Amino acid sequence: MNVKKLTYMAMLTAISMIVFLIEAQIPLPFAIPGVKLGIANVITLYAIWTLGWKEAGAILIIRIFLGNVIAGNVMAMAYSLAGGLLCWVIMSLLKPIMKRSQIWIMSILGAIGHNAGQLAVAIAISGTAAMAWYAPVLLVAGVITGAFTGYLTQILLSHMDKLKTN
């Protein structure tokens, strides 16, 4: 790996951590436990699209680890890792078959996977499958937040393209 690529990955990791930490401080206008916009996922999706799945995975894992440690939320790391990694796997597998105009679809499916991963950890930790009743709520939230972050990623890619041509 060359220095330029490593530096770019470090910059994207820092940006994703900053977004993650800022978003953790923003209260949502609705109180649905475990639901947030997931704006840091824009960086993961951007990295999958521009750098590749391995690089995006490295950025994601570092962001999850450091973000939870810095935020003092180490207990939530299992949820973040399960959700984040499942989301990353889904989006990485979809990238070769999706067009750039379909990034929002990748993001929705990734967000649903993220919520499924977190729900699986919650069920495993609690030892009760009754928590699965929460799946429809998380499905709706995943569609909404996934569409939003996918749309933001498409805008980001478009703006970065314009910077490259100027």
Average pLDDT on 59-74 reads 88
- Does residue 58 surpass a pLDDT of 80? yes
Q: How far apart are CA 80 and CA 115, in angstroms?
A: 10
- Does residue 139 surpass a pLDDT of 80? yes
Q: How far apart are CA 123 and CA 117, in angstroms?
A: 10
- Does residue 41 surpass a pLDDT of 70? yes
Average pLDDT on 32-46 reads 86
**HEC letters along 6-35:** HHHHHHHHHHHHHHHHHHHHCCCCCCCCCC
Give CA 118 to chain center in angstroms. 12
Q: Among 55-64, 90-99, 156-165, which stretch is predicted with the lowest mean pLDDT?
A: 156-165
Average pLDDT on 30-55 reads 88
- Does residue 89 surpass a pLDDT of 70? yes
Residue 166: per-residue pLDDT: 61
Q: Calculate ∠ Cα 22-25-152, nearest 5°.
A: 45
Q: Calculate ∠ Cα 65-66-67, nearest 5°.
A: 95
Q: Which two tokens mark 69?
A: 């440690």
Tens digit of pLDDT for each residue in 69-88?
888 778 888 999 999 999 99
What letter represents residue 10's amino acid?
Answer: A
Mean of the per-residue pLDDT values for the chain? 90
Q: Calculate ∠ Cα 105-109-114, nearest 5°.
A: 140
Are 37 and 76 in contact by the 8 Å Cβ rule? The answer is: no
